[in-house]
Amino acid sequence: MRISLPVRACLSCAVLLLAAVVASAAAPRTQPTPFKFAALGVANPCFVDSVVFADTYLGGRKSGGSRWVRVLRWGTLEEDYTMGPGHAVAVFQWRGGLYVFDINNGVRKLMVPVARRGDLHDLTTAIYSLYPEVKPTGPALLDDSWTTRKPGLRGADKSPVTASYRDALKAGKALAKTREVRLVRFSYAEKGKRRESAVAVFRFDGRLCLYVPERGTLVLPQVAAGLDDDALIRARLGACFGRESAVQLVAPQSAEVPAAGRTKGKSNQSANTP
């Protein structure tokens, strides 16, 4: 996977998992979470897991005072200085200290004073110490606590389910507990075959985000973009998979719903809301 910051960031934790080691800037032991939390168990989950963790931490309340959480994302550079996979974690305040939730390392205390919680340099220095073998670049500290909430998931249908669709749906349902999420099916060409997938489209920190199980999460700079901007979604997916992938969005199919008053076995067609 290749990314190009700041135009897009495809956040994937698969490669960084191999490089994750414990260093002095973060506590060597994994801490228990301050609440009941289970990882989503989907492909390339670092960004969406961090977002759901932050949502769970806030519990529907606004961030402020000692209740403080941010999502930190960054890209990486390969040996030849081309863009490599990115990563994301949740940074939060708890019991008078700062902690990081990392899908690769669990919860660890950061050796950063609470008074410096908004300092990007101090936070990245501590968190990057968990990945000394990678070359991080382009960090961004995202705050979604101010967002006006309109929770709900739309776009799910009863068409055949692929592994990618299952992951996008699972992530979409979790994200939709505190924000609007749109599920969109799409297809792309790979090795001479047409493959079916899906993307969970949502906003975080005012930015349009696309969770794609095969690639991770694209975080777009278009603050004003809407969840129904199909042209933008298709263009960003095409850039992520490559021009030769010929990405096409797939309209949701009608699901068969029994009609009221019909005899058993009869049904009519009812179109799903896209």
Q: pTM for this structure?
A: 0.81
Give the pLDDT mean for 107-133. Answer: 94
Give the pLDDT mean for 145-169. Answer: 87
Can you tell me the distance from the alpha carbon of 2 to that of 20, in angstroms, rounded to the nearest whole number? Answer: 20
Q: Which residues contact 23 (CB under 8 A, 6 or more apart)?
A: 129, 130, 132
Range name among 33-37, 104-108, 121-125, 161-165 with the lowest pLDDT average:
33-37
CB-CB contact of 228 with 182 (8 Å): yes
pLDDT class of 176 with cuts at 50, 70, 90:
very high
* Structure token digits, residue 113: 């004073």
CA 32 to each of CA 72, 91, 99, 104, 105: distance values in angstroms, whole numbers, following the listed order? 20, 15, 11, 14, 12
pLDDT at residue 36 is higher than 50? yes
Domain boundary residue, one of 123, 142, 161:
142
Note the pLDDT tens digit of each residue in 180-211: 999 999 999 998 899 999 999 999 998 999 99
Can you tell me the distance from the alpha carbon of 45 to that of 14, in angstroms, rounded to the nearest whole number? Answer: 9
Note the pLDDT tens digit of each residue in 236-274: 999 999 989 999 999 876 543 333 444 444 333 333 323
Phi, psi of 16 (to 5 degrees): -65, -25
Task: Say whether both 159 and 137 belong to one domain.
Answer: no
Q: What is the predicted pLDDT for the residue at 249?
A: 95
Give the pLDDT mean for 97-119. Answer: 94
Task: Say whether both 39 and 136 belong to one domain.
Answer: yes
Radius of gyration of the chain (CA): 20
Can you tell me the distance from the alpha carbon of 264 to that of 259, in angstroms, rounded to the nearest whole number? Answer: 10
- State the chain's mean pLDDT as an integer: 81
Task: Say whether both 126 and 173 belong to one domain.
Answer: no
- Residue 247 half-sphere exposure, CB side, CA atoms within 13 Å? 22
CB atoms within 10 A of CB 221: 12
Residue 260 within any structural domain of the chain: no
Can you tell me the distance from the alpha carbon of 250 to that of 28, in angstroms, rounded to the nearest whole number? Answer: 47
Q: Which residues contact 61 (CB under 8 A, 6 or more apart)?
A: 67
Domain boundary residue, one of 142, 175, 194:
142
pLDDT class of 61 with cuts at 50, 70, 90:
confident
Residue 21 within any structural domain of the chain: yes
Give the pLDDT mean for 99-116. Answer: 94
Place of tokens 């989950």: 45
Task: Say whether both 156 and 133 belong to one domain.
Answer: no
pLDDT at residue 23 is higher than 80? no
Percent above pLDDT 90 for the chain: 59
Nearest to 137 by CA among 208, 90, 77, 88: 77
Task: Say whether both 127 and 173 belong to one domain.
Answer: no
Q: What is the predicted pLDDT for the residue at 237?
A: 95
Q: Length of the chain, please? A: 274
ω into residue 32 within 30 of 0, thus cis? no
Task: Say whether both 18 and 92 belong to one domain.
Answer: yes
* Structure token digits, residue 71: 């999502």
Q: What is the predicted pLDDT for the residue at 32?
A: 76
- Four-point Cα dihedral 133, 32, 93, 108, nearest 10: -20
Residue 109 within any structural domain of the chain: yes
Residue 272 within any structural domain of the chain: no
Task: Say whether both 19 and 131 belong to one domain.
Answer: yes
Residue 262 within any structural domain of the chain: no
pLDDT at residue 215 is higher than 60? yes
Residue 97 within any structural domain of the chain: yes
Task: Say whether both 103 and 199 belong to one domain.
Answer: no
pLDDT at residue 101 is higher than 80? yes
* Structure token digits, residue 219: 């975080």
Residue 261 within any structural domain of the chain: no
Give the pLDDT mean for 227-234. Answer: 94
Task: Say whether both 43 and 89 belong to one domain.
Answer: yes
Task: Say whether both 190 and 232 belong to one domain.
Answer: yes
- Split into its structural domains, the chain has a count of 2
* Structure token digits, residue 25: 């800037």
pLDDT at residue 114 is higher than 50? yes
pLDDT at residue 98 is higher than 80? yes
Task: Say whether both 24 and 114 belong to one domain.
Answer: yes
Domain boundary residue, one of 110, 142, 174:
142
pLDDT at residue 29 is higher than 90? no
Residue 125 within any structural domain of the chain: yes
Task: Say whether both 246 and 130 belong to one domain.
Answer: no
Can you tell me the distance from the alpha carbon of 81 to that of 191, in angstroms, rounded to the nearest whole number? Answer: 27
Q: Which residue range is the domain that position 173 belongs to?
A: 152-250
Can you tell me the distance from the alpha carbon of 36 to that of 56, in angstroms, rounded to the nearest whole number? Answer: 9
Q: Which one is predicted more confidently, 12 or 43? A: 43
